[in-house]
Structure 1
Amino acid sequence: MAIHMTRSSSTFALVFMVLFSASLASSEVPFMVVHKKASLSPFKSGSERVSVTIDIYNQGSSTAYDVSVADDGWNSDIFDIVSGNTSMSWEKLDVGDVLSHSFELEAKTKGLFYGSPAVVTFRVPSKGVLQAYSTPILPLDVLAERVPEQKFEWAKRLAAKYGSHVSVISLVVAFAYLIASPSKASKKKR
C-alpha cells in the first residue's frame, strides 16, 4: 500500500512539474528591472540640486509595449523641477534593451527626504497592462551642513585604493633584487 501511494504521489509530482514548466514556457512575458538613483549636488549658496535617473531593463523573454514611467513622489512643497519631467513614455522595450530617463530638481527646504519608488507600466499583448516598481533610494539629507573634506583625505583614498598594488610590486622588486644580486657566501667560495 505504501509503495502504491509513493508511486502515485511521484506520478502526480511529475505530471505537475511537466504542466507547470509547460505553462512557464508558453507564457513569454517581459521581466522589468527598474533602478532609480538620486544624487545631491550643491548648486549655489543655500541651494542644492537633486539629479534623478531611472533605468529600465527588460530581462524577460518578450517585448514590452507602451512602456511608461512615473515618479510622482517628489513633493512640490519641497522640490521644484529644473529640467526634464517626472514621467516619460516609450513605444516599446525589446528583450535585453535598456531605457533611461533623467530629470533634475532643486530643493526648497532643508530636511531628510525619503523617496518613493517609481512606477513603470507596460503592456503585453496576451496579458494586458502590468506594473513594476523601482528600487528605493537612500534617504536624502537635503541642504544639510556638510563637514569640509579633511586635509589629507585624498592621500587616505589613494592608499586605500592602490595600497595593495604598491605592496605586491614592492615584494616583486625585492625578490628580483635578491635573485639578481650575488650573495656574499658565493664570493667567499671562489
Structure 2
Amino acid sequence: MAQALVLLSLALLFSSTAAISDSSFILGHKKVSLSKLKSGAERVSVSIDVYNRGSATAYDVSLVDDNWSQDIFDLVSGNTSNSWERLDAGAVVSHSFILESKVKGMYHGAPAVIKFRIPSRAALQEAFSTPILPLDILAERPPEKKFEWRLLAKYGSLVSVLSIVGLFVYAVISPSKSSAGKASKKRR
C-alpha cells in the first residue's frame, strides 16, 4: 500500500510538472523616466515589456495600465492599454506611452495588469508587471555630474605618462618570478 501511495504521488508530481512546463509564463517589466519641461511641467515616459518565459504560446494578451490619476496626469501620446493576438514562447513585446504632470508631489504607481489565455485552461490568466518606485513629480534635483571632456583633454596625456613611468618603476623594482624560482633551485 505504501509503495502504491509513493508511485501515485510521483505520478502526480511528474504530471503537474509536465503541465507547468507546457504553459505560458508571462512577466511584465514596467519602467518610468522623468524629464522636466520648460513650461513648468514634467513628462513621464512609461515603457512596459511583456515577456513569455514559458514553453507555450499565450493568446489574447492584453495589457492595461490605467492607474495614472487623471487629476494628476494628462496623456500626451500613446494609450495606457494595448493587446496582442498571440505571444509566442520566448517572445517579448513592448508598449510605451507618455504622460505629463503639472502637479507637484509624490506619486505611488501600481503594477500594470496583463491578461492572457492559454489553450489548456478556459479562464483568462492574470499577471502583473513590476511596480515602479515612488515618483517625486516636479522635485528639485541637483544637476547631474557629467564627464568633463575638457579635463581629459587637458590632463589626459600627463596621467598616461605618469602611469607608464609608474609601471616601469614597478617592473624594475619588483623581483622577477623566474629569477626567484632559479634562486630557490640553486639553494637545493
User: Is the TM value for this pair above 0.5?
Assistant: yes
Structure 2 residue corresponding to 1:12, chosen from 5, 16, 30 = 5
Q: How does 1:79-94 map to 2 (within 5 A)?
A: 79-94=73-88
Cα distance, 1:34 vs structure 2: 0.6
Who is 1:111 aligned against?
105
Cα distance, 1:173 vs structure 2: 5.2
SS of the residue 2:37 aligns to = strand
Who is 1:46 aligned against?
40
Who is 2:121 aligned against?
127
1:135 is matched by which residue type in structure 2? T
Who is 1:142 aligned against?
137
SS of the residue 2:74 aligns to = strand
1:142 is matched by which residue type in structure 2? I
Residues 128-165 of structure 1: CA deviation (Å, up to 9, x unaligned) = 31110011000000011223446xx747xxxxxxxxxx
Who is 1:56 aligned against?
50
Q: How many percent identity over aligned positions?
A: 53
TM-score by length of 1: 0.74
Distance of aligned partners of 1:174 and 1:34 in 2 relative to their CA distance in 1, 3 Å threshold: farther
On the 8 A contact 2:47/2:97 being kept in 1, the answer is: yes
Quick one: distance in 2 between partners of 1:44 and 1:141?
A: 17
1:24 is matched by which residue type in structure 2? T
| Structure 1: gaps of 5 or more residues | 1-6, 156-165, 180-190
Query: What's the C-alpha RMSD, in Å, of the aligned pairs?
Result: 2.8
Who is 2:185 aligned against?
none
1:36 aligns with 2:25: no
Cα distance, 1:19 vs structure 2: 1.6
TM-score by length of 2: 0.75
Who is 1:186 aligned against?
none
On the 8 A contact 1:37/1:137 being kept in 2, the answer is: yes
Distance of aligned partners of 1:23 and 1:39 in 2 relative to their CA distance in 1, 3 Å threshold: same
Distance of aligned partners of 1:21 and 1:143 in 2 relative to their CA distance in 1, 3 Å threshold: same
- State how many pairs are aligned: 160
Quick one: distance in 2 between partners of 1:107 and 1:90?
A: 29
| Structure 2: gaps of 5 or more residues | 149-159, 175-188
Cα distance, 1:21 vs structure 2: 1.5
1:112 is matched by which residue type in structure 2? M
